[in-house]
């Protein structure tokens, strides 16, 4: 009998119940008990949904983040919160979110301000975890209370439990040694705590424990590889069976190491690592369970069940009882329930599966393997029909777009002249001062803007009324920028809900869910648009707004677009063609928009690529291939304009060292980046590379309400001027201003403009 299980279930709730409960608790509008009750209800509901599985995950639920939960389980609290006397859950939120001193309602030392833990991306997903903090002195101490409580609840519910832990080696790898000590040196201190935890779970009658070690799909040096051997030898005597889980990619050169670790079972991602599976089976010691992740836990498409069965049936013959099936990874990365979608186009809906539907697919697969395909014939036939319909749909396949893609020439990705020649023409035309000032695009999204948008969506405000409201905002924004004396203006993006969704809504080939929320961090969720078909742009998307803005001013108005790589990386994208192909289709659509902007007289066009870096594959060996098509896509969007049209791009992060060559290869005339928090240090990468084009290093942090001083900005820019020639420097904030208030934006930008004037006079 092939067993089925799950690695983790989305905890946010089909209606984002956890989000709202957390936010209400944080705002003091509900009690801790109410929050805990809601948490318990969600866990119960989710186990209920998984009750058809042979075992359900326990401990995958977290109020904020599963890595932070693990830190608390291991007693690894940051030094600064150790002597907190209040409730443990509150202390947990202190680490997760930080707490400012003035919000403390208690003069007690323990309630003074505390910095939040650092947050970073969970592998190549859009989920963010709280980074464990280490030092050479770190000690661990087991606190199994959370797990035991959840285990008790699950047992009471009568489901077969499989506790889920982050494995010791991955746990260390995810963290950061604050004193630059060797974090791997903590392994001998950490392993006894894991052993004690496994003993504790065994005493509760647990048979299997899932221990996640996803770093096994990344490139590991010998020291880290050896750590696996050390760790799992030491845990081998524990009285539970370990299912070592890897996901998000291939084991590749770690395959033999992983196959031979002394654990009872191994889970691998058979979607992203399918090439690994057969060689792995050959290497797998007799008796070891192999769990294959055959349902994609990272996208929202139905699985082709018949094709998976064709592949699985011989493996099931070979492995017998040793074969288990699961989603490829935790379902944390997909929305909860397709059944909640009321408005989604019925045809597109028939091609999709969210978490609940994916578990049903899993059940059908196991029934087919265990009882023969005839036992689920109706389901398999329906699945085949849906897969075929999607494959053949005219809404998915547009021959004209396939032809356009085939017609991409190298010239299309090439500006007419090199930057140095373009720059001369742009200077002559734009007549900008030295240290020109600009902003990144958005201005405050005020309550009035949001109200107008929601009234328009609900039909309370007609299109004319909505447009008038947005035009009024744009006019205000232009007026304010002129009054401030900025050099290159923007229209302010009032009409945009989100920088990806706004474009997705206007492109053919996109669909939108109502409740397809996925947790990004804590209570924050994103609702990625669904890119299902060949992409085309039926009509211009931004010309009306930006043309209107330009009509209000004699200064250059910067057109504002989102780039193809960012649109791709922030969408659920199709799985029936390579991402590179989808990206180039997006690039062709954005290219048309760029040319239309140019044709109505917009001489400066910014194409945001905020998510270019986050699309980097997990393995460095695959980086270049990604960067090649990502950069080419960007260049396709810009390659059609004249030399006089100045192309900007913007990226809101600060690690450029390892991708600087690709950034330069994008050949934007100017790039604006985030630098203020790093004190301009990241300009080093640009200096060492001799980055040839213009740069606007962000001079103040827009995430903070603080108003920067002109003096500080002058100091930062003077530092920048040591790395980059002054004629290639721009002065701008770190990122868009949409989350700020006007009364913060005006004084901050006034300081920035004043700083630019000082710089012009002195440098
Ligand atoms: N143009 C966008 C804005 O200003 C850029 C946002 C971003 O980089 N994330 O809002
Ligand atoms: Zn940004």
Determine the Cα–Cα distance for residues 324 and 142; give it in Å rounded to an integer.
31
Sign of CA dihedral 88, 93, 98, 103: negative
Determine the Cα–Cα distance for residues 341 and 515; give it in Å rounded to an integer.
7
Determine the Cα–Cα distance for residues 592 and 745; give it in Å rounded to an integer.
33
Query: Of 46, 491, 703, 712, which residue is the catalytic one?
Result: 703
Sign of CA dihedral 563, 566, 571, 576: positive
Determine the Cα–Cα distance for residues 128 and 122; give it in Å rounded to an integer.
5
| Start-to-end C-alpha separation, the chain | 76
Note the pLDDT tens digit of each residue in 396-407: 999 999 999 999
Mutate which of 126, 439, 442 for ligand 1 pocket (most atoms within 8 A of beta carbon): 442
Name the residue with tokens 């100045």: 646
**Closest ligand 1 atom, residue 496 Cα:** 10
Whose alpha carbon is nearest atom 5 of ligand 1? 736
- Can you say which residues are annotated as belonging to the binding site for 5-methyltetrahydropteroyltri-L-glutamate? 16-19, 121, 524-525, 570, 614
Count CB atoms within 10 A of the CB of residue 457: 11
508-526 CB burial, b ≥16 within 10 A, e <16 = ebbbbbebbbbbebbbebb
**Closest ligand 1 atom, residue 652 Cα:** 8
CA nearest to 709, candidates 744, 754, 740, 670: 754
Whose alpha carbon is nearest atom 10 of ligand 1? 736
Residue 139 pLDDT greater than 80, yes or no:
yes
Residue 703 among the catalytic residues:
yes
Q: What is the mean pLDDT of the segment spanning 499-519?
A: 97
Cα(498) to ligand 2 centroid in Å equals 13
Contact assessment for residue 369 and residue 312, using Cβ atoms and an 8 Å cutoff: yes
The token pair at 166 is: 């982050």
Note the pLDDT tens digit of each residue in 519-554: 999 999 999 999 999 999 999 999 999 999 999 999
The token pair at 691 is: 């980055």
Q: What is the mean pLDDT of the segment spanning 303-312?
A: 98
Count CB atoms within 10 A of the CB of residue 120: 13
CA nearest to 269, candidates 327, 355, 333, 332: 327
Note the pLDDT tens digit of each residue in 96-138: 998 876 544 544 445 568 888 999 999 999 999 999 999 999 9
- Cα 740–Cα 742–Cα 744 angle in degrees, nearest 5: 65
CA nearest to 735, candidates 760, 703, 758, 708: 703
Query: Which segments within 252-312 are labelled E, that is strand?
Result: 265-269, 289-295
Determine the Cα–Cα distance for residues 608 and 258; give it in Å rounded to an integer.
40
Determine the Cα–Cα distance for residues 704 and 674; give it in Å rounded to an integer.
13
Ligand nearest to the CA of residue 492, numbered in listed order: 1
Query: Which segments within 501-591 are labelled E, that is strand?
Result: 508-511, 518-521, 524-526, 530-536, 558-562, 572-573
Q: What is the mean pLDDT of the segment spanning 413-426?
A: 98
Determine the Cα–Cα distance for residues 295 and 358; give it in Å rounded to an integer.
7
CA nearest to 478, candidates 533, 431, 548, 526: 548
* pLDDT for the residue 652: 85
Contact assessment for residue 159 and residue 56, using Cβ atoms and an 8 Å cutoff: yes
Note the pLDDT tens digit of each residue in 454-463: 999 999 999 9
* pLDDT for the residue 684: 87
| Secondary structure (3-state) at 408 | coil
Cα(11) to ligand 1 centroid in Å equals 29
* pLDDT for the residue 678: 77
* pLDDT for the residue 102: 53
Question: Which run of H or E residues covers position 380?
Answer: helix 377-392
Mutate which of 438, 443, 488, 493 for ligand 1 pocket (most atoms within 8 A of beta carbon): 493
Ligand 1 interacting residues, C-beta cut-off 6 A? 440-442, 493, 499, 560, 608, 610, 650, 652, 735-736, 738
Cα(546) to ligand 2 centroid in Å equals 20
pTM of the predicted model as reported, rounded to 2 decimal places: 0.95
**Closest ligand 1 atom, residue 440 Cα:** 4
Tell me the C-alpha to C-alpha distance, in Å, between residue 70 and each of 123, 279, 616: 17, 33, 27
Note the pLDDT tens digit of each residue in 463-491: 999 999 999 999 999 999 999 999 999 99
* pLDDT for the residue 388: 98
Determine the Cα–Cα distance for residues 563 and 499; give it in Å rounded to an integer.
10
Contact assessment for residue 210 and residue 245, using Cβ atoms and an 8 Å cutoff: yes
* pLDDT for the residue 294: 98
Sign of CA dihedral 354, 358, 360, 364: positive
pLDDT, mean over the chain: 96
Note the pLDDT tens digit of each residue in 693-748: 999 999 999 988 889 999 999 999 999 999 999 999 999 999 999 999 999 999 99
**Closest ligand 1 atom, residue 650 Cα:** 8
- Can you say which residues are annotated as belonging to the binding site? 16-19, 121, 440-442, 493, 524-525, 570, 608, 614, 650, 652, 674, 735
Name the residue with tokens 């919000």: 103
Whose alpha carbon is nearest atom 3 of ligand 1? 736
Q: What is the mean pLDDT of the segment spanning 508-528?
A: 96
* pLDDT for the residue 99: 82
Name the residue with tokens 């690695």: 7
Q: With bands split at pLDDT 50, 70 and 90, how would you rate the model's confidence at 682?
A: confident
Note the pLDDT tens digit of each residue in 171-223: 999 999 999 999 999 999 999 999 999 999 999 999 999 999 999 999 999 99
Note the pLDDT tens digit of each residue in 235-282: 999 999 999 999 999 999 999 999 999 999 999 999 998 889 999 999
Contact assessment for residue 59 and residue 147, using Cβ atoms and an 8 Å cutoff: yes
Determine the Cα–Cα distance for residues 395 and 522; give it in Å rounded to an integer.
36
Query: Who's near 360: CB < 8 A, 6+ residues apart?
Result: 353
- Can you say which residues are annotated as belonging to the binding site for Zn(2+)? 650, 652, 674, 735
* Residues near ligand 2 ion, CB 5 Å cutoff: 652, 735
Query: Who's near 608: CB < 8 A, 6+ residues apart?
Result: 441, 499, 560, 561, 562, 563, 566, 649, 650, 651
Name the residue with tokens 């085939």: 406
**Closest ligand 1 atom, residue 738 Cα:** 10
Note the pLDDT tens digit of each residue in 22-64: 999 999 999 999 999 999 999 999 999 999 999 999 999 999 9
* pLDDT for the residue 680: 79
Query: Who's near 156: CB < 8 A, 6+ residues apart?
Result: none
* pLDDT for the residue 104: 45
Note the pLDDT tens digit of each residue in 582-605: 999 999 999 999 999 999 999 999
* pLDDT for the residue 715: 95
């Amino acid at each position: 009998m092939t067993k089925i299980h799950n690695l983790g279930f989305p905890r946010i709730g089909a209606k984002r119940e956890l989000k709202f409960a957390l936010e209400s608790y944080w705002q003091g509008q509900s009690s801790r008990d109410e929050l805990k009750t809601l948490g318990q209800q969600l866990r119960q509901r989710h186990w209920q949904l998984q009750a058809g599985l042979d075992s359900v995950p326990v401990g995958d639920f977290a109020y904020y983040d599963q890595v932070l939960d693990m830190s608390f389980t291991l007693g690894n609290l940051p030094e600064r919160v150790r002597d907190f006397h209040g409730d443990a859950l509150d202390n947990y939120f202190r680490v997760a979110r930080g707490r400012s001193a003035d919000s403390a309602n208690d003069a007690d030392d323990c309630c003074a301000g505390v910095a939040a833990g650092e947050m970073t991306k969970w592998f190549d997903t859009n989920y963010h975890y709280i980074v464990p903090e280490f030092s050479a002195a770190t000690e661990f101490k087991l606190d199994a209370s959370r797990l035991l409580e959840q285990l008790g609840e699950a047992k009471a519910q009568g489901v077969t439990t499989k506790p889920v832990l982050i494995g010791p080696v991955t746990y260390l790898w995810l963290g950061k040694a604050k004193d630059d000590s060797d974090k791997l040196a903590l392994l001998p201190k950490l392993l006894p705590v894991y052993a004690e935890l496994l003993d504790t779970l065994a005493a509760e009658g647990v048979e299997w424990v899932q221990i996640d070690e996803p770093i096994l799909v990344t490139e590991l040096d010998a020291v880290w590889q050896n750590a696996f051997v050390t760790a799992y030898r030491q845990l081998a005597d524990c009285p539970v069976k370990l299912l070592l889980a890897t996901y998000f990619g291939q084991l590749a050169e770690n395959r033999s190491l992983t196959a031979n670790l002394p654990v009872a079972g191994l889970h691998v991602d058979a979607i992203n690592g399918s090439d690994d599976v057969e060689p792995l089976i050959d290497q797998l010691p007799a008796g070891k369970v192999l769990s294959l992740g055959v349902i994609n836990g990272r996208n929202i498409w139905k699985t082709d069940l018949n094709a998976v069965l064709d592949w699985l049936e011989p493996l099931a013959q070979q492995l017998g009882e040793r074969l288990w099936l699961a989603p490829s990874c935790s379902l944390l990365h997909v929305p909860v329930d397709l059944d909640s979608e009321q408005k989604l186009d019925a045809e597109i809906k028939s091609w999709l599966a969210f978490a609940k539907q994916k578990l049903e697919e899993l059940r059908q697969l196991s029934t087919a393997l265990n009882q023969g395909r005839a036992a689920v014939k109706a389901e398999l036939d329906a699945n085949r029909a849906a897969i075929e319909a999607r494959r053949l749909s005219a809404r998915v396949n547009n021959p004209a777009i396939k032809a356009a893609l085939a017609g991409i020439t190298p010239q299309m990705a090439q500006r007419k002249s090199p930057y140095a020649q373009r720059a001369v023409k742009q200077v002559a035309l734009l007549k900008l001062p030295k240290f020109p000032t600009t902003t990144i695009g958005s201005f405050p999204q005020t309550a009035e803007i949001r109200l107008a948008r929601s009234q328009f969506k609900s039909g309370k405000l007609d299109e004319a009324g909505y447009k008038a409201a947005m035009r009024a905002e744009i006019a205000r924004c232009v007026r304010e920028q002129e009054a401030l004396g900025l050099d290159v203006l923007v229209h302010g993006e009032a009409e945009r809900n989100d920088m990806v969704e706004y474009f997705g809504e206007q492109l053919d080939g996109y669909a939108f869910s109502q409740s397809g929320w996925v947790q990004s961090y804590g209570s924050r969720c994103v609702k990625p648009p669904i890119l299902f078909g060949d992409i085309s742009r039926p009509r211009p998307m931004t010309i009306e707004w930006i043309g209107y803005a330009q009509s209000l001013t004699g200064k250059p108005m910067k057109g504002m677009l989102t780039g193809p790589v960012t649109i791709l990386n922030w969408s659920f994208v199709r799985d029936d063609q390579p991402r590179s192909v989808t990206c180039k289709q997006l690039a062709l659509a954005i290219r048309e928009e760029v040319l239309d902007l140019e044709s109505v007289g917009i001489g400066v066009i910014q194409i945001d690529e905020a998510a270019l870096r986050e699309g980097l594959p997990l393995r460095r060996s695959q980086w270049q291939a990604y960067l090649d098509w990502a950069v080419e896509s960007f260049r396709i969007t810009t390659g059609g304009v004249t030399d006089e049209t100045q192309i900007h791009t913007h990226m809101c992060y600060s690690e450029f060292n390892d991708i600087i060559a690709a950034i330069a290869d994008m050949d934007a005339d100017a790039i604006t980046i985030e630098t203020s928090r790093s004190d301009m240090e990241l300009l080093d990468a640009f200096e060492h590379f001799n980055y040839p084009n213009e740069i606007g290093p962000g001079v103040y942090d827009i995430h903070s309400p603080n108003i920067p001083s002109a003096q500080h900005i002058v100091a930062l820019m003077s530092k920048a001027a040591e790395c980059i020639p002054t004629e290639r420097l721009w002065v701008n904030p770190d990122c868009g201003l949409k989350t700020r208030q006007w009364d913060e934006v005006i004084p901050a930008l006034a300081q920035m403009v004043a700083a630019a004037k000082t710089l012009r006079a002195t440098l």
